[in-house]
Amino acid sequence: MDTAPEKIDITPTKDGGVLKEILREGTGEEKPLPGDKVLVHYVGTLEDGSEFDSSRRRGDKFEFDLGKGSVIKSWDLGVATMKKGEICRLTCRSDYAYGANGSPPKIPANATLIFEVELFEWKGEDISEKKDGSVIRHIVQAGEGYQTPNDGATVKVHYVGRCGMTVFDDQQVEFILGEGEESGVIEGLEVAIKKMKKKEKCRLEIQPSMAYGNEGNSKFNISPNTTLQFDVEMLSFEKAKESWEMDASEKLEQAEIKKSKGTSYFKAEKYKLAVKFYSQVVTLLENATGMDEGEDATRKSTLLLAAFLNLAMCYLKLNDSHAAQEQCDKALEQDSNNVKALFRRGQALQNKGDYDQAKKDFEQVVQLDPQNKAAKNQVTRCMQKIKEFKDKEKKIYAGMFQKFAEADSKKKVPEENKEESEEKKADDQSEKEEGVEVGDGGQAVEAS
């Protein structure tokens, strides 16, 4: 005789509000975590056995974010206890379902609901900035409060890094958010830490593009293009002052600090980090008020111009010519005759193959600074490239015209051949009538 499945109280307070019966065991030991996107089938019935909803009947599995309050409480509790492939029955008291209001017309007030649920799969939350799946998070332990650290915050975390089953790094580190590279913290970890609350614990899957890329890491024996896993705990953080909390003098002071850090990273050839700090100068000052006159206005203008010019140089180093040109345009809005901005925009345009416009920028540099040999050389180079392009264009068009001429010629030949053939037939007939045969090669020979 079959034994009825055991009913287990899965409520945190053990108040009997949600009872679970396992109808089919799942596989493995892993279970979905808060924030995971889960895929299930379900059938919902009232206590009298009448069915009020069924994903199976619709033939469409149901997907939701676990632990985010997007479903009734009993579901968030129950599905979190399930393994892959498991089927269970959840008996849900009304205060863990639709409560005193019910869900008319199918679910009456204060109704106890019974759900048969099958868990198919789940996947973590994509917290990457580009939403490309490069950083996936599973929350192991919810954090406290609602605040998360911002750029410039001092954070203290403990993390364990794994490559497959091998632990390659296990440390507690304190660093300034945005400068993690200086402490050996990879970009994917920083992205996740920005979203963590105090005391939160999470598990991360980080793709190579946000870890050690196609170079790997010899120190940790990480091969190129390797996906890594991290268990991270946010121990504490102290938020940096937001720009809206600063007065004009504080913004200018912070902008000076950011510019200095950006320059240090630029000199160290850490161009991506330099971009971060020069961009922060722009964020602090571009739309800032209260510094439109006197010394503050001069400092603001000088810092912004330097940030635009330095960003342009960074982007040139990073082979992003479009972004470099944009920064030069912003610099030239402030100073239309700025030699550095014109020269760097000329370089960006050259890289994009726009030699005509690049030549104009370099020529303007020479007008402003007649001794600038580098600009003169670039004017010459642009002229050479323009000539090469025109010569190549001539050859292409010449080749095209030649092909057209040959095509026309081929069309005419069959017509000429047709005329010659008709004339030849007429001649042959005439020769036969005169007792002449046509021999090889069409030559006339005497008949035997």
Catalytic residue numbers, as ranges: 42, 52-53, 72, 98, 115
Residue 14 Cα to chain centre, angstroms: 44
Contact 66, 35 (CB under 8 A): yes
79, 42, 71, 38: which is closest to 57 by C-alpha?
A: 42
Contact 149, 177 (CB under 8 A): yes
Residue matched to tokens 């053990």: 14
Q: Which two tokens stand for residue 367?
A: 């007008």
Tokens encoding 396: 């292409």
Task: Report yes or no: 34 and 40 within 8 Å, Cβ to Cβ.
Answer: no
Nearest Cα to Cα of residue 21 among 9, 29, 13, 31: 9
**Complete edge-to-edge strand list for the sheet that includes strand 201-206:** 125-126, 135-141, 201-206, 228-238, 154-163, 166-176
Report which DSSP code applies to 2: P
Cα(72)–Cα(96) distance, integer angstroms: 7
Count of other CB atoms within 10 angstroms of residue 435: 8
Chain length of the chain = 448
**Which tokens hold the place of 167?**
């632990």
